[in-house]
Amino acid sequence: MASGKIPFGFALPQVSPTEPVDIAPIGHVARRAEELGFQSLWTLDQVLGGSRNLEPVSLLSYVAALTTRVRLGTAVFVLPQHNPVQLAKDLATLDVLSGGRLDAGFGIGNENPPHDAAFGIPSGRRVKRMTESLAVMRALWSERKASYDGEFFQLKDIRMEPKPVQQPGPPVWFGGRVEPALRRAVRLGDAWMGPGSSSIDEFREHVGILRRALDEQDRDPATFTLSKRLYLAIDDDRDRAEGRLREWFAHVYGSADLANAVAVWGPQSYINERIAEVIDIGAEHMLLHPVFDFDEHLDALAHWTN
């Protein structure tokens, strides 16, 4: 079993199962999670597609007004699909509105030429576009007059106000699962969150790569947080839980089978064992992500925050 105490985050009910979208569960989950001692609340970024997925900055601004302590996270923005100047402004505003509670997560996403065309960006060179975007955002967050001369973006003595409350900017989290992405996270970020679309066994492999990268880059492990998003369903009826997970994964990821590869489901004792396993592997933070019955899962999982 896991030893020690780590902070736990909880996923907001960002994807609506109904049309029209009912926002009442969002506020209820946000307030209840804060009351129960969860450290953070988290969102996804999915602009295009058929799922009823609310935009994260707007959603977190709403949640910021309903809460006072809990941190607010994005895991993760597909950064090549966003203009970094506008996103820097949006996230700085969110950090101000929340009183300095933002955790900003970024990744490169998957190659998708139709979506790239919809955003008006060329396919390819996603890593270069992301690293330049992050440099632009950090400059705008921390410098009175920001300058940057890159291939995709150029700034010359550009001002952006207000700055984020957190200086020199909000903590930067990364996603990613391949070794170059993990090493990049150690080089550029403050934390890494194992994707929900990866399994516990994959998380074990990723932690090994990250620890080697921390050592090779001579970085103090205490300055870099290892985290994992875990999709889960607590239900004594395993078949029912599996069916509901598969339905959600088909809606959001376009693959019902992915649920069987990465999610965990079953009685509460089994879920507790899987959470403990992730902590034993090396998680220093966890994002617990049910996809239905959020109230019931909040109450069932609250003991991890105590």
Mind giving me the DSSP string for 285-299? EEEEEESS-HHHHHH
Mean pLDDT of 277-285: 98
Residues 171-181 have pLDDT tens digits of 999 999 999 99
Mean pLDDT of 293-297: 96
Alpha carbon of 96 to those of 91, 170, 171, 269, 272: distances in Å?
9, 11, 14, 40, 36
Percentage of the residues of the chain whose pLDDT score is greater than 90: 87
Residue 52 has a CB neighbour count (10 Å cut-off) of 15
pTM flag (> 0.75):
yes
Nearest C-alpha neighbor of 197 from the set 75, 292, 15: 75
Asked which of 52-56, 122-126, 300-304 is least confident by mean pLDDT, the reply is 122-126
Q: pLDDT value at position 3? A: 44
Mean confidence (pLDDT) of the chain = 95
Which tokens hold the place of 186?
Answer: 């150690």
Give me the residues paired with residue 305 across strands.
none
Query: Over 70: is that where the pLDDT of 1 sits?
Result: no
pLDDT for residue 18 is more than 80: no
Calpha distance 182→213 (Å, rounded): 8
As a whole number of Å, the CA-based R_g of the chain is 19
Residue owning tokens 């004594």: 236
Structure tokens at 261: 């590869």
Q: Give 16's pLDDT tier (boundaries 50, 70, 90).
A: confident
Note the pLDDT of residue 187.
Answer: 98
Q: Give the residue among 57, 191, 79 at the shortest CA–CA distance from 129.
A: 79
Q: What is the CATH number of domain 8-305?
A: 3.20.20.30
| Per-residue pLDDT at 2 | 44
Confidence check: pLDDT of 255 > 70: yes
What is residue 4's predicted lDDT score, i.e. its pLDDT? 54
Overall average pLDDT of the 137-155 stretch? 98
Torsion over CA: 60, 62, 64, 67 (sign)? negative
Per-residue pLDDT for 87 more than 50? yes
Q: Report CA-CA distances (Å) from 124 to 84, 112, 116, 263.
A: 17, 9, 9, 30
Q: Return d(Cα 159, Cα 163) in angstroms, integer.
A: 10
Phi/psi for 271 (5° steps) reads: -65, -40
Domain boundaries, the chain: 8-305
pLDDT band at 110 (very low <50, low <70, confident <90, very high): confident
Q: At 281, which amino acid appears?
A: I
Q: Which of the pair, 178 or 113, is modelled with greater confidence?
A: 178
Size of the chain in residues: 306
- Determine what percent of the chain is predicted with pLDDT higher than 70: 99
What is the reported pLDDT for 112? 85
305 pLDDT more than 60: yes
Amino acid occupying residue 223: T
pLDDT of residue 145: 98
Q: Are 78 and 88 in contact (CB under 8 A)?
A: no
**Dist. CA 146–CA 89, nearest whole Å:** 13
Phi, psi of 133, rounded to the nearest 5 degrees: -60, -45
CB atoms under 10 Å from CB of 280, counted, come to 12
**Rounded distance between C-alpha atoms, residue 94 and residue 20, angstroms:** 26
| Res. 136: pLDDT tops 90 | yes
Q: CA–CA separation, 264 vs 271, rounded Å? A: 7
pLDDT band at 276 (very low <50, low <70, confident <90, very high): very high
Q: What is the pLDDT of residue 106?
A: 98
159-182 mean pLDDT = 98
